[in-house]
Amino acid sequence: MSSNLRTNVPPWKVPKQLVWKDELHPDFVDLPYSLNELLRCGVIYIDKPKGPTSHEVSARVKRMLGITKASHFGTLDPIATGLLPIGIGVALKLTQAVHETGKEYVGILHLHATVSRNDIQTVFKKFVGDIYQRPPVRSSVARRVRIRRIYELELLEMDGKDVLFRVACESGTYIRKLAYDIGDVLGVGAHLVELRRTRVGGASEEGMVLLQELDLAAHLEESAREKVLLKILHPVNEILSPIPSIYVKVSAAISVAHGAPLAAPGVIAFTTNLEAGKTAVCYTMDQRPVAVMQSQVSAHQLLDMEKGIVALPKRVIPSIEELKSKLHTLP
């Protein structure tokens, strides 16, 4: 069943605040995103229909946008619907970071015999925390038992043997297997009949578009097409918002792009959910991502640091030339 060694709060609900290293600090630069910029490093939230695979949806998005590099941030089964974030261009370097932001689903569980609402709620509580899962036979990963986190599991409605539920969980959780295991613990058996993904990290259903809408936008004349695409393409900051943030000077960003560790003098601001040993995303003051980092210190430690290593780079996003072009416009 589950243990509770870690927090049950979904990453997008973890409270955080921005902390400035110095009282006299530069402000953020509010620079609008261009279409070229979003097609180089952006995300589109597709409302996936039943039927196609996630790979097929990604391929259609590439064709519609006329781009060569795009892929989804986490598979949805062909029968599942809902939020399928598709990373574009160098945004794919952020895939592992997106996987750390958690996911949320709404589904219908069909019980094989009648069970009381109270019994279902009791069993749901037992599945909150760390659970053990073996991936199903038809999966793209090795079928080894692994631990996944269930942050929240809520019974929304019941209609006879059909149970509408909401689950917030760690990436890589198999909801179909979760439904089967719930039925097993209830002693009556159960299977999943409907599944819809409603959230991935900081991205929710609110910004989703249908494939048909994207197809229509792709066939508009150039100026109209640009206006529509600027509304439906998103910067990566939104989906990554649950990940701790570190805002740095351009000179520090260039050093990180060369593979150097991020040192304390290069830090301008950071969020209070920063933890030692955990993932963070480094940004310049125009709020563009620089790199996925592994933090070496907590927010509390960083506040008083004047020297020393703050974080180590794992994946660098922009080119060094792009960062050098910001030297005269950003701190």
Q: By three-state DSSP, how is residue 148 classified?
A: strand
Environment class of 3 (CB within 10 Å of its CB; exposed 0-12, middle 13-18, buried 19+): exposed
Q: How far is it, in rounded angstroms, from Cα 308 to Cα 296? A: 10
Q: Per the structure block, which two tokens stand in for 323?
A: 């960062």
Scanning 187-249, the segments in alpha helix (DSSP H) are 211-218, 222-232, 236-239
Q: By three-state DSSP, how is residue 65 classified?
A: helix
Identify whether 77 is a catalytic site residue. Answer: yes
Which residues are registered as beta bridge partners of 106? 166, 196
Q: By three-state DSSP, how is residue 89 classified?
A: strand
Q: One of 27, 30, 77, 130 is an active-site residue; which one?
A: 77
For residues 162 and 110, is the Cβ–Cβ distance under 8 A? yes
Query: Residue 175: what residue type?
Result: I
Residues with catalytic roles: 77
